[in-house]
Amino acid sequence: MHQFARSRNLRRGRFSEEGRPYLLTLCTALRHPVFADWRLGRIVVNEMRAVESRGQLESLAWVIMPDHLHWLILLREEALGNTMRDFKSSAARQVNQVRGATGALWQVGFHDHAVRRNEDIQALARYIVANPLRAGLVTSVGDYPLWDAVWL
């Protein structure tokens, strides 16, 4: 029950502003390292690109870690909550189909941070894509297969 109460708190005060950059964090259920299998992470990447191709958002930078996703976006047409609900649902169906699993892939809810106008968005993108380095997964960002940024 506690998990659901906390997810409601994440939605409190959430406002979607078209054209605003957001930093999103989505965690896997029970922080299970599903994306340690990079093939499953590539499925999520394909769904991220599908959301972008539908015009709902523009991806600025992202990294898929073994148990979570950081995604810097520019919100376009849809409400952020609806976009993330649809993305998480579709990605979960596809990942679960490949791994022969059922049930939740993602934790309930997600964390969002509306990027302020005075924040350095490129520095934020560099911080995001350097996550695998800080986690000790690789010694060079280029060695990690699950990241991208528009500035590269």
pLDDT at 12 (0 to 100)? 54
Which residue, 53, 59, 52, is CA-closest to 24? Answer: 59
Read off the pLDDT of each residue in 134-150 and give the average, rounded to a whole number: 97
Whole-prediction pTM: 0.89
| Parent domain of 12 | 2-138
The reply to whether 150 falls in a domain is no
User: Is the residue at 143 inside a domain?
Assistant: no
Closest to 8 measured CA to CA, from 81, 102, 114:
81
pLDDT, tens only, 88-123: 999 999 999 999 999 999 999 999 999 998 899 999
- Looking at the structure of the chain, the number of domains it has is 1
Q: Does residue 40 sit within a domain?
A: yes
**CB neighbours of residue 30 within 10 Å:** 10
- Res. 60: pLDDT tops 90: yes
Work out the mean pLDDT of the chain and round it to a whole number: 91
CATH number of the domain residue 57 falls in: 3.30.70.1290
Over the stretch 15-29, which tens digit does the pLDDT of each residue have?
A: 789 999 999 999 999
Residues ≥6 apart with Cβ < 8 Å to 76 = 18, 19, 55, 56, 57, 58
23 contacts 74 by C-beta, under 8 angstroms: no
